[in-house]
Amino acid sequence: MTVNHGFHATMTAQPGRGDEVVKLLLEAPSLPHPDCVVFLVGRSAGNPDVVHVTEGWTSREAHGAFFGSDPAQAFVAELQALLTGESGYSDEVPVGGKAAF
């Protein structure tokens, strides 16, 4: 599948809650979705409460339709409750690379 839409997000967990944010993200309802072809979670080496997410979707429309769904909105609400401040987002279309875990 080709990635035609994506973004990179940086968010900050409430102090000491970075592990909870990472755990929640690694159970995100978008992971099994067939139009979500890239979903990477990382964290800052210097501040474990700063978490990064890179997503790649087959289309902007597929991403929008998914995030308009009830499961996605419930997930976002649960995630937001663990965060502090404003999250940063930038558009990004993953074009290749490697991820081995």
DSSP class of residue 34 equals T
- Identify the structural domains of the chain with CATH numbers, from first to last: 5-84 (3.30.70.100)
| Percentage of the chain modeled with pLDDT above 90 | 88
Which residues pair with residue 5 across a beta bridge?
57
C-alpha to C-alpha distance for 19 and 25, rounded to whole angstroms: 10
Distances in Å between the Cα of 74 and the Cα atoms of 24, 30, 88, 97 are 12, 12, 20, 31
Tokens of 83: 């965060």
pLDDT digits (tens, 9 = 90+) for 53-100: 999 999 999 999 999 999 999 999 999 999 999 999 999 888 888 777
Distances in Å between the Cα of 83 and the Cα atoms of 3, 67, 77, 78, 94 are 28, 18, 10, 9, 25
Quick check: 6 and 54 in contact, CB under 8 A? yes
More confidently predicted of 101 and 33 = 33
